[in-house]
Amino acid sequence: MDMTPDDFPTSAYIGGEWVTSKDRFAVVNPATGLVIASVPDLTAADARRAIDAASAALPAWSAKTAKDRAAVLRRWNELILAEAEPLAQLMTAEQGKPLAESRGEVAYGASFVEWFAEEGKRAYGRTIPTTAASKRYVTIKQPIGVVAAITPWNFPIAMITRKVAPALAAGCTIIVKPAEDTPLCALALAKLAEKAGLPEGVLNVVTTRNARGVGEVLCADSRVRKLTFTGSTEVGKVLYRQCADTVKKLTLELGGNAPLIVFDDADLDQAVAGAMASKYRNAGQTCVCANRILVQAGIYDRFADALAKAAQSLIIGPGTGQGVNLGPLINAEAIAKVESLMADAVKRGGTVKTGGAKDAAGSLFYKPTVLTGVTADMDIVGQEIFGPVAALIKFETDDEAIALANSTPFGLAAYLFSQNISRAWKTAEKLEAGMVGVNEGIFSNEVVPFGGVKESGLGREGAAEGLDEYLETKFICLGGI
């Protein structure tokens, strides 16, 4: 380890150059409210320059063999891992999550780089049996071209590597617009990619407060052939529309409203552990966090008691604190949203079993909360909470649970807990979700496809599917044989 968080860049990165600007914006530590650094507030014109750079770099990068690209990606992976500790410190400083979670995310983020370095070598086409004696049919896979990536603040490294690694492995070049709240990790990744020998223009990072203006440029420019976005469904829909004129390929990883079903025959300890992991990780600020916890009547009280006890054992504080496992929310709007959802739930008859208020640790800390007596008419059931509040809904029958679980426009993650394999399998098949955890609260990794159905998005990240998102299939018919 030879870098400290202070050594990481605070300039944007375009065409292999570290770009400054007289306009800058502050990056704030959500645990303390203190400014950590400032980064350039780039413009729509800068975004166009980044597209120029990515376009110029495309022919040479896409012409390299997958093996040569893999060599650069592997070096990048090694450098990320070598700098894991300062990167984790940087992440906790700008995003707030507990250091142990930041360390986990650095490893998780790097795993996509390692995995796609290898998977890029397996971008296989097909030979197809002919329908005419004089012809032969093959398909080949080719990089789609210049890619634009727009990413959220809740996983400042992994949401970037999950897009950049497969894009680069496929032979694409890319422009990343990181979240305004967490640009430092994105720039740190670019620094390490540069050190790994990534040619100029292959990866560009545009920091900006003008997400809308920069987003419009990235969507409108016909040289950008693909947009990959992780963030809210609301913004995803705007980008989907904006990409229509140039008919871009899209990956949209959008919001969720994950149901977590606890059946009467669940192993109680397993269900509580799964709910804790799914609900309170990153202070409840993940797209796959259990948003609605559906508990069958026979186990409801025991589950609520055990979950409340486990929630009370969480240690709340700045992510750097000893043993802390619940950090602050990202900003004042996030706290306001949780408070408003709680007020609505309590007004409509919900009961606060534990928590239910801000914590003395600081203005952005909210106590781990368990809310019982939740009903379908409450806002907390229809909206993504994005905070450490477990909302418990009681149900009687399996059909009722499945109907409740599916009664949302979202379909990202779902979880269920049951010791009955038949019930678990049938329920997993019926849940309208891109991913289902059975007796498991955390399931994401680089080798499995991550993504949603319905208004939770399009496409998949990770796994072979994740590489395919950056490839086009070309059919070649060889005639005159």
Query: Half-sphere exposure (CA, 13 Å, Cβ side) for 475?
Result: 8
Segment interacting with ligand NAP, rule: CB under 6 A, options 84-92, 235-243, 321-329, 417-425: 235-243
Q: Tokens 């379908």 correspond to what residue?
A: 376
Q: Is 253 among the residues known to form the active site?
A: yes
Q: 80-109: which residues touch ligand NAP (CB under 6 A)?
A: none
Interface residue with ligand NAP among 194, 253, 446, 469 (CB under 6 A) is 253
Residue 215 or 319 having the CB closest to ligand NAP:
215
What are the CA-CA distances from residue 434 to residues 285, 314, 384, 415, 431 (Å)?
Answer: 19, 30, 17, 11, 9
Interface residue with ligand NAP among 255, 259, 317, 327 (CB under 6 A) is 255
* Dihedrals phi, psi of 239, to nearest 5 degrees: -65, -40
Residue 418: CB minimum distance to ligand NAP, A: 26
Interface residue with ligand NAP among 179, 250, 341, 414 (CB under 6 A) is 179
Q: What CA–CA distance (Å, rounded) separates 356 from 335?
A: 12
Segment interacting with ligand NAP, rule: CB under 6 A, options 27-35, 98-106, 131-139, 252-260: 252-260
Element (H, E) at 266: none
Residue 179 or 193 having the CB closest to ligand NAP:
179
Residue 148: CB minimum distance to ligand NAP, A: 10
Interface residue with ligand NAP among 40, 327, 457, 459 (CB under 6 A) is 457
Decide: helix, strand or coil at residue 432: coil
Cβ contact 248:226 at 8 Å: yes
Q: Is 462 near ligand NAP (CB under 6 A)?
A: no
Q: Is 185 among the residues known to form the active site?
A: no
Count of C-beta atoms within a 10 Å radius of residue 169: 29
> Which residue among 287, 289, 446, 461 is the active-site one?
287
Residue 334: CB minimum distance to ligand NAP, A: 8
Q: What CA–CA distance (Å, rounded) separates 17 from 209?
A: 20
**Beta strands, E only, 314-366:** 351-354
Segment interacting with ligand NAP, rule: CB under 6 A, options 51-59, 209-217, 349-357, 425-433: 209-217
Contacts (Cβ under 8 Å, ≥6 apart) of 385: 284, 289, 291, 337, 338, 341, 391
Residue 220: CB minimum distance to ligand NAP, A: 12
Cβ contact 329:382 at 8 Å: no
Interface residue with ligand NAP among 27, 113, 185, 254 (CB under 6 A) is 254
Q: Is 198 near ligand NAP (CB under 6 A)?
A: no
Residue 139 or 340 having the CB closest to ligand NAP:
340
Q: What CA–CA distance (Å, rounded) separates 366 from 389?
A: 9
Interface residue with ligand NAP among 83, 94, 114, 384 (CB under 6 A) is 384
Residue 203: CB minimum distance to ligand NAP, A: 16
Segment interacting with ligand NAP, rule: CB under 6 A, options 16-24, 188-196, 225-233, 258-266: 225-233
Size, binding site for ligand NAP by CB under 6 A:
28
What binding mask, one character per residue, do residues 257-296 give for ligand NAP by CB under 6 A, x or -? ------------------------------x---------
When CB distances to ligand NAP are compared, the closest residue is 215
Cβ contact 415:260 at 8 Å: yes
Decide: helix, strand or coil at residue 93: helix
Residue 61 or 116 having the CB closest to ligand NAP:
116
Q: Is 448 near ligand NAP (CB under 6 A)?
A: no
Q: What CA–CA distance (Å, rounded) separates 103 from 277?
A: 16
Residue 79 or 91 having the CB closest to ligand NAP:
91
Interface residue with ligand NAP among 57, 70, 169, 235 (CB under 6 A) is 235
Q: 115-154: which residues touch ligand NAP (CB under 6 A)?
A: 150-154
Residue 283, judged by CB atoms within 10 A of its CB (0-12, 13-18, 19+), counts as buried
What are the CA-CA distances from residue 158 to residues 95, 204, 223, 387 (Å)?
Answer: 13, 17, 26, 20
Q: DSSP secondary-structure letter at 28?
A: E
Residue 255 or 441 having the CB closest to ligand NAP:
255
Identity of the amino acid at 233: T
Residue 288: CB minimum distance to ligand NAP, A: 7
Q: Is 359 near ligand NAP (CB under 6 A)?
A: no
What are the CA-CA distances from residue 445 to residues 75, 104, 293, 461, 463 (Å)?
Answer: 20, 11, 23, 10, 9
Print burial letters for 4-34: b (CB count within 10 Å at least 16), e (below 16): ebeebbbbbbbbbebbebeebbebbbbbeee
Contacts (Cβ under 8 Å, ≥6 apart) of 241: none
Residue 244: CB minimum distance to ligand NAP, A: 14
> Which residue among 119, 253, 446, 469 is the active-site one?
253
Residue 171 or 178 having the CB closest to ligand NAP:
178
Q: What CA–CA distance (Å, rounded) separates 374 from 355?
A: 15
Catalytic residue ranges: 253, 287
Q: What are the residues binding ligand NAP (CB under 6 A)?
A: 150-154, 159, 177, 179-181, 211-212, 215, 230-232, 235, 238-239, 253-256, 287, 384, 412, 452, 457
